[in-house]
Amino acid sequence: MKVFSVIGISKSGKTTTIENIIKELIKRNYTVGSVKEIHFEKFKMDTEGTNTYRHKEAGSQLVTAWGNYETDILFQRKLTLDEILNFYHYDFVVLEGVRDKNIPKIITAHTLEEIEERLDEDTFAISGRISNSMEEYKGIPVINTINNVEKLVDLIEENVKDRVSPRKESSAKLKINGKEIPMVPFVENILINLVEGFIKELKGYDSEGEIEICIKR
């Protein structure tokens, strides 16, 4: 799985750039996922008064809204980026607004000052509104995705490598009465993240160690 981020201030063309990239990646027969980091301090997907909100207020630590056209799983804490990416099984994952990670980045900007504020060794391309007035900055290509998204996606294919997990990939087995219950990767990852989320603050927790839970009835 290959992960990269598009960063820039509001109205710099960030989301438009991502939309065009996703469309072109899909056109090239890649599978694509995305993550939007929201910097608004008080952001919540759920709102006061809904049934799911009432579940949370009653003490439910994981709430799922299960609808006909989408399923929303509401964790009651901020997951780490690695925890989030463990749910993804795609060729590419595009991050919007994730700046403080050592991953390949595309900067969108209005001005040179905005580029300088965000420029680091992981930057391999520049896009957004400033691409209307320049084609290169300090040797880095500046590309307008409205009329030349193919060139930017070529750069993505060249510069974004497979993500290396910071630790060995976790796996989980569920057994009832000694019989293993098969789980799809999505459910397996939910189980792993739930268990680790509950116990990671306990004394003796080892992020590299194996975890065993036995429930006797």
Per-residue pLDDT of the chain (217 residues; tens, 9 = 90+): 999 999 999 999 999 999 999 999 999 999 999 999 887 777 777 888 899 989 989 988 889 999 999 999 888 888 899 989 988 999 999 999 999 889 999 999 999 999 999 999 999 999 999 999 999 999 999 999 999 999 999 999 999 999 865 545 568 888 888 888 888 877 888 888 888 888 877 877 777 788 888 888 7
**Which backbone phi and psi does 166 adopt, to 5 degrees?**
-65, -15
The model's pTM is 0.73
Domains of the chain: which residue ranges?
A: 2-159, 167-217
Q: What CATH number does domain 2-159 carry, 3.40.50.300, 3.40.1160.10, 3.40.50.620, 2.40.50.140? A: 3.40.50.300
Q: Tell me the helix, strand and coil percentages in the chain, rounded to 5.
A: 30, 20, 45
User: Among 139, 134, 206, which Cα is nearest to 170's?
Assistant: 206
User: Among 81, 112, 83, 77, which Cα is nearest to 170's?
Assistant: 83
Cα torsion through 21, 26, 32, 33, rounded to 10: 70
Q: CB of 2 within 8 A of CB of 161?
A: yes
Q: CB of 107 within 8 A of CB of 119?
A: yes
